Structure 1
Amino acid sequence: MRILVVDDSSFMRNMLRAVLEKAGHHVIGEASNGQEAISQYRDLNPELVILDITMPILSGLESLKEILNYNAHAKVLMCSAMGQKAIIEESIRYGAKGFITKPFKEALILDEVAKMC
Structure 2
Amino acid sequence: MGKRILVVDDAAFMRMMIKNIVTKNGYEVAGEAENGKQAVEMYAELKPDIVTMDITMPEMDGIEAVKAIRAIDPNASIVMVSAMGQQAMVMDAIQAGARDFIVKPFQQDRLLQAIERVLARSRK
Bin of the TM-score, shorter chain as denominator length:
over 0.9
* Structure 1 gaps, min length 5: none
Show the counterpart of 1:40: 42
The Cα of 1:85 is off from its aligned counterpart by: 2.7
The Cα of 1:83 is off from its aligned counterpart by: 4.6
Identical-residue share of aligned pairs (%)? 43
The Cα of 1:82 is off from its aligned counterpart by: 2.9
Contact 1:49 1:75 in 2 (8 A): yes
* 1:7-26 → structure 2 map (5 Å cutoff): 7-26=9-28
Show the counterpart of 2:122: none
What TM-score results when the alignment is normalised by the length of structure 2?
Answer: 0.91
How far apart are the structure 2 equivalents of 1:70 and 1:83?
A: 29
Q: For the structure 1 residues 77 and 83, does the alpha-carbon distance in structure 2 shift closer, same or farther, using more than 3 Å as the test?
A: farther
Show the counterpart of 2:61: 59
Detail structure 1 runs of 4+ shifted over 2 Å in the superposition.
82-85
How far apart are the structure 2 equivalents of 1:99 and 1:3?
A: 15
How far apart are the structure 2 equivalents of 1:86 and 1:5?
A: 22
Q: Does residue 92 of structure 1 match 2:90?
A: no
Q: Does residue 102 of structure 1 match 2:115?
A: no
| Number of residue pairs matched by the alignment | 117
How far apart are the structure 2 equivalents of 1:95 and 1:108?
A: 20
How far apart are the structure 1 equivalents of 2:61 and 2:84?
A: 14
SS at match of 2:70: helix
How far apart are the structure 2 equivalents of 1:91 and 1:75?
A: 12
Contact 2:82 2:102 in 1 (8 A): yes
What TM-score results when the alignment is normalised by the length of structure 1?
Answer: 0.96
The Cα of 1:84 is off from its aligned counterpart by: 3.3
CA-based RMSD of the aligned residues comes to: 0.9
SS at match of 2:56: coil
